[in-house]
Chains A and B, each alone.
Chain A
Amino acid sequence: MTISKLTRRGVIKTGAVTGAGLALPTIFTSAASAFTNEPTGSTVTLGFNVPQTGPYADEGLDELRAQELAVEHINGMGDGGMLNTFSSKVLDGTGIMGKKVEFVTGDTQTKSDAARASAKSMIEKDGVVMINGGSSSGVAIAVQGLCQEAGIIFMAGLTHSNDTTGKDRKANGFRHFFNAYMSGAALGPVLEKAYGTDRRAYHLTADYTWGYTQEASIQASTEALGWETVNKVKTPVGAGDFSSYITPVLQSGADVLILNHYGGDMINSITQAVQFGLRDKQVNGKNFEIVVPLYSELMAEGAGENIKGVYGSMNWNWQLQDAGTKAFVKSFGEKYGRPPSNSAHTCYVQTLLYADAVTRAGSFAPCAVAEALEGFEFDGMGNGPTLYRADDHQCFKDVLVMKGKDNPSTEFDILEVVEVTPRAQVEYAPDHEMFGGGEASLGECNNGA
């Protein structure tokens, strides 16, 4: 192969492409559509970006199950689930605005980079109009930023950090999950009732952004009860062994241990704390207690016996008795043979809410959809009357306070609902200092190309 031949081929190839391009009237550039990935055919594609490998793979797979179920219900298959109880009735089982819903999936690996790469390929290659899912605040914030830049809607999955709708809030992003502040606000009164107002708390906190916001939120709400914060210790993520952090707790004079951990870290730290006999100790004349502010079903399963009697909070639980929850648990159970987790519920509801918002807006354009979601009040999706607040795109609904069950009957029946904290009690001002203060802003909504 000589140089000249190669160049000639290059020239011919380029020429052919240009010529063919000029000859065909189908030429279009990205500026031709009104917004990013405007669906023109008979289908519309949604992107489900969840962790399928890595530490939160279990949560991710449960999210995926729920999203698949939601697509089925939107397309009119199955028993319709929450569509029957949802207060808005515009979805009729014919897809979204007559377009059949299809979906693509991706693996976030619980890494911001991988999540963004996977989201980008969904936007650039598969032409999705909405991305949903995820199981970490870092990932949620990273993907939310990407969707804002690209001009599509992001429905954040499991993300509990205040920052997602706080200082990192974005006009194209919405969160259905509750947040660390709400956990604190919901737990406060229950802790007061159970443990009194004269307690000394010791925090072990996962050493990253979510840990910091949860620690700050819980500290604020417990100190408002009159509790004293003895010490706050940061532990590395994925430490595995927490014994060196737990030993000093006993010498500190604290009588409550607050574990700001999630996933495998929480399973390890609570198991070790119980093994060290913390819960059998008497300090300051009171029983030593442990609190895990954020619970999930999968963590509870992992920790097993050790969470008996331990308080925590949750976004939603399958044991709730309202009609929406019952309908969802029934169709999820029939399809997969297990109750849905609260992250599954979040993703299911968000997919339906997106479809509903598009139909009400009469357009897939992100700004129109965002407008339809902003300030939207609805009911029948579990958690009672729910509001998507316009100021920060945070969802407000009742929050559950949970306790490890003393006598679990099945492997799924480990937690019991202690109290359903009413929405009014967990509300806060959009410019609350824990949420970026007055500086935080949603920015302009972006329709993309």
Chain B
Amino acid sequence: MFGLSAKDTRFLLIVMFLTLATPILLQPFPENSAMAQFNAGYPDLMQKFAIFGIFAIGFNILFGLTGYLSFGHAAFLGVGSYTVVWMYKLLSYNILPGLILSIIISGLFALLIGFISLRRSGIYFSILTLAFAQMSYNLAYSVLTPITNGETGLQVYSNDPQMLAGANAPTSPHLFGIVMRESSEFAVGGWVFTFNNGYYFCAIIAILAFYLSMRIFRSPFGMMLRAIKTNQTRLNYTGLNPRPYTLAAFVISGMYAGLAGGLLAAMDPLAGAERMQWTASGEVVLMTILGGAGTLMGPVLGAGFIKYFENIFSKINDNVLHSWFAFMPDGMEDFLVALVHPFVGKGWHLTLGILFMMVVIFLPGGLVEGMQRISRLFRRKKATKPGGPDHEHHPKPAPHVAE
């Protein structure tokens, strides 16, 4: 189906199911239970899962396949966001024109940066992309303030032209009248499930993006990209010029990033310069490595993981801790709170850092490798699958930095 093998079709269907059922799956604890703190099924976070999933999928096409480590992908994210907000300001709150334009403009921007940066490989390439991204960030933060509104962030004002906006058009981002912010809630027993329009829009685009990346992974073009990662010198000797391929991969992943940036602005009509900062570029690298670079599902998992920590763990404060350990005697309670305190709330970076280190040390292939190990454990018990050549041509575990 869809031009995929039976196994890939199954994989895609599982991903589709997981994505569409996210509002239910991420809400495992009843609303009034103590564990409700860990529920993640609210619109903003689910949107972030889908959007950063797209961003990481796109980044993985470049990094996972060709091994070129770009440290400047946040620049495309920012360009996408600014494009969409400008389309709000000039045309209307309909998100479609902005999203299409954000893909085009970030693609052009990626072509320009890629054309220059791809003259070098390895660490030099990383530094070049980092330099371009920081340049874009500083321009957006101060020099280009008339276009980007600087530190405050670009937003829509009531006196903007909005030429295509009708008299009764919604006053927040919408797709032909379907308002992204609106959601319907269903209470079942103690659970409350939120089905948000914006999330489902992002989810459908994320599935399409995933499908496209799957096709690229399985195509001859994807094979060529992997060849570049494996041994670029050999490819040169074969008489092939790798640069058009790497440039194409760079532009494609730039367009993915632009789309993700556009979606961010489509869910929340604001574009800030810090979306382009190097920390944002580093974040997508972390996501990809944490989940498993070069695998299809890994980057999405990594994106979800990091966003979950950022949004859920950072909100656990001392009061919450005290309520958790309230059943214990006072001294014990204070001791446990003091013990956990550095790892939650403002210390969420620390927890994430420790987890990241553990993943890199014990699971070099990322979370995906962890899952594979677990599933292999079960399969070995059944002893059905003999070892043998890899007929599916799964990407080999590869070093994280381009050689």
Using CB atoms, name the residue of chain B closest to A106.
B315
Known: A17-B186, A53-B346, A117-B44. A137 touches B270 (CB 8 A): no
Whether A3 lies near B13 (C-beta < 8 A) is: yes
Whether B152 lies near A443 (C-beta < 8 A) is: no
Using CB atoms, name the residue of chain A closest to B349.
A53
Partner of A209, one of B138, B145, B193, B274: B145
Question: B38: shortest Cβ distance to chain A, in Å?
Answer: 11
Whether A208 lies near B272 (C-beta < 8 A) is: no
A236 within 8 A of B: yes
Partner of A112, one of B13, B43, B153, B317: B153
Q: Which chain B positions have C-beta within 8 A of A161?
A: 152
Whether A125 lies near B42 (C-beta < 8 A) is: yes
Binds A, one of B177-185, B325-333, B334-342: B177-185
Question: A181: shortest Cβ distance to chain B, in Å?
Answer: 17
Whether A24 lies near B187 (C-beta < 8 A) is: yes
A163 within 8 A of B: yes
Whether B314 lies near A236 (C-beta < 8 A) is: no
B33 within 8 A of A: no
Using CB atoms, name the residue of chain A closest to B270.
A142
Using CB atoms, name the residue of chain B closest to A57.
B346
Whether B152 lies near A168 (C-beta < 8 A) is: yes
Known: A21-B188, A24-B188, A124-B44. A142 touches B153 (CB 8 A): yes
Q: Which chain A positions have C-beta within 8 A of B43?
A: 120, 124
Whether B187 lies near A28 (C-beta < 8 A) is: yes
Q: Which chain B positions have C-beta within 8 A of A132?
A: none
Partner of B172, one of A124, A149, A207: A149
Q: Which chain B positions have C-beta within 8 A of A330?
A: none
A30 within 8 A of B: yes
Q: Which chain B positions have C-beta within 8 A of A29?
A: 184-185
Known: A30-B185, A107-B314, A138-B272. A6 touches B24 (CB 8 A): no
Q: Which chain B positions have C-beta within 8 A of A363?
A: none
Q: Which chain A positions have C-beta within 8 A of B152?
A: 112, 137-138, 141-142, 161, 163, 168, 209
Using CB atoms, name the residue of chain B closest to A6.
B13
In angstroms, Cα B21 to Cα A1, docked, is 18
Q: Which chain B positions have C-beta within 8 A of A209?
A: 145, 149-152
B384 within 8 A of A: no
A146 within 8 A of B: yes
Q: Which chain B positions have C-beta within 8 A of A210?
A: 151
Using CB atoms, name the residue of chain A closest to B159.
A439
Whether B188 lies near A441 (C-beta < 8 A) is: no
In angstroms, Cα B95 to Cα A87, docked, is 49
In angstroms, Cα B141 to Cα A348, docked, is 31
Known: A113-B275, A138-B153, A443-B158. A52 touches B44 (CB 8 A): no
**1/0 per residue A163-196: CB within 8 Å of B?**
1000110000000000000000000000000000
Partner of B48, one of A7, A117, A137, A149: A117
Whether A20 lies near B188 (C-beta < 8 A) is: yes
A-B contacts, CB under 8 A, total: 145
Whether B17 lies near A6 (C-beta < 8 A) is: yes
In angstroms, Cα B157 to Cα A163, docked, is 13
Whether A107 lies near B346 (C-beta < 8 A) is: yes
Question: B320: shortest Cβ distance to chain A, in Å?
Answer: 8
Contacts of A233-257 to chain B: CB distance below 8 A = 234, 236-237
B232 within 8 A of A: no
Contacts of A409-449 to chain B: CB distance below 8 A = 439, 441, 443
In angstroms, Cα B311 to Cα A52, docked, is 13
Question: B351: shortest Cβ distance to chain A, in Å?
Answer: 13
A26 within 8 A of B: yes
Most chain-A CB neighbours within 10 Å: which of B44, B150, B348?
B44
A282 within 8 A of B: no
Using CB atoms, name the residue of chain A closest to B320.
A104
**1/0 per residue B34-77: CB within 8 Å of A?**
00000100111100100000000000000000000000000000
A272 within 8 A of B: no
Whether A234 lies near B142 (C-beta < 8 A) is: yes
Contacts of A149-168 to chain B: CB distance below 8 A = 149, 161, 163, 167-168
Whether B315 lies near A121 (C-beta < 8 A) is: yes
In angstroms, Cα B270 to Cα A145, docked, is 9
Question: A64: shortest Cβ distance to chain B, in Å?
Answer: 8
A105 within 8 A of B: yes
Whether A27 lies near B187 (C-beta < 8 A) is: yes
Whether A1 lies near B153 (C-beta < 8 A) is: no
Q: Which chain A positions have C-beta within 8 A of B159?
A: 439
In angstroms, Cα B13 to Cα A114, docked, is 33
Most chain-B CB neighbours within 10 Å: which of A2, A117, A167?
A117
Q: Which chain A positions have C-beta within 8 A of B264?
A: 113
In angstroms, Cα B310 to Cα A3, docked, is 35
**1/0 per residue A20-46: CB within 8 Å of B?**
110010111110000000000000000
In angstroms, Cα B379 to Cα A1, docked, is 13
Give me 17 A-to-B residue pairs in the complex whose CB atoms sit less than 8 angstroms apart, sorted by A's number: A3-B13, A7-B13, A27-B187, A28-B187, A29-B184, A29-B185, A30-B184, A106-B315, A107-B345, A112-B153, A117-B45, A118-B311, A121-B315, A142-B270, A208-B141, A209-B149, A212-B145
Which residues of chain A have a CB within 8 Å of any CB of chain B? 1-3, 6-7, 10, 13, 17, 20-21, 24, 26-30, 52-53, 57, 103-107, 111-114, 116-118, 120-121, 124-125, 136-138, 141-142, 145-146, 149, 161, 163, 167-168, 207-210, 212, 234, 236-237, 439, 441, 443
Contacts A30-B182, A121-B311, A137-B152 known; list 12 others, CB within 8 Å: A7-B13, A13-B24, A29-B184, A30-B184, A107-B348, A117-B44, A125-B42, A141-B152, A163-B152, A207-B141, A208-B142, A234-B142
3 smallest CB-CB distances across A and B, nearest first, come from: A52-B346, A208-B151, A120-B44
